[in-house]
Amino acid sequence: MVGGRRMSHNVAMVDEPVNNLKLKFRMLTKPIKVSGLGGVVTYISAGVNVKFALGLQVVYVVDVWLANIGEGVDVLLGMDFMYATGVRLWLRLGLIQLPDEESVLLQDGPPHYVGRELSLCP
C-alpha cells in the first residue's frame, strides 16, 4: 500500500482515510517501470498533486507518484521538493526555515540540550 492506495496489477482501491482527503488521482494508461528499493523493479501506476502548507503564508503543490514498493510502507516522500523550493532544516534548533525566511517550529521543538555550552576540554 502506498499513499493510502492498494496496488493490485492495474486495479487500485483507495483506503478510507485517504479517500477523505479528496485527492484526485491520475491513473497512468501504461505504468512506468522503475528500479525500486534495493534494486527491485516496481511500477509507477498513478500520480497526484499534493498541497503542502508550510507556515502561514507558504503553500507548495508537489506532484507525487504512486507505486507499490512493498514491505508495508504506506508513504515514501522524498525531500527533493524541499531543496527545489529553498526550504532548509535546522535540526539542532528544531526549526524549518522557509524561503521567505519565516521559521516554523518542528513538532517537539529544539532538543532540551540546545543553548547549553559543554566544555570538551578537561
The rounded distance, in Å, linking the Cα atoms of 13 and 1 is 10
Question: What is the value of pTM for the model shown?
Answer: 0.46
Examine the domain organization and report whether 95 and 74 are in the same domain.
no
**What are the tens digits of pLDDT across the range 80-100?**
666 777 777 776 777 777 777
Examine the domain organization and report whether 57 and 115 are in the same domain.
no
Confidence of residue 13 (pLDDT cuts 50, 70, 90): very low
Q: Is the pLDDT of residue 4 over 70?
A: no
Cα dihedral 7/31/47/6 (nearest 10):
0
Examine the domain organization and report whether 15 and 75 are in the same domain.
yes
Count of all residues that appear for the chain in the document: 122
Q: Which three cell numbers stand for residue 110?
A: 529544539
The rounded distance, in Å, linking the Cα atoms of 114 and 122 is 21
Tell me what the mean pLDDT of segment 98-112 comes to. 68
Predicted local distance difference test score (pLDDT) of residue 89: 76
Examine the domain organization and report whether 37 and 81 are in the same domain.
yes
The rounded distance, in Å, linking the Cα atoms of 54 and 66 is 23
The residue type at 11: V
Domain containing 33 equals 5-85
**What are the tens digits of pLDDT across the range 41-73?**
888 888 888 777 766 677 777 777 777 666 665
Q: Which residue has the higher pLDDT, 27 or 119?
A: 27
Q: Is the pLDDT of residue 103 over 80?
A: no
Query: What's the structural domain count of the chain?
Result: 2
Cβ-contact 47, 66 below 8 angstroms? yes
Examine the domain organization and report whether 22 and 76 are in the same domain.
yes
- β-pair type (88-90, 5-8): unpaired
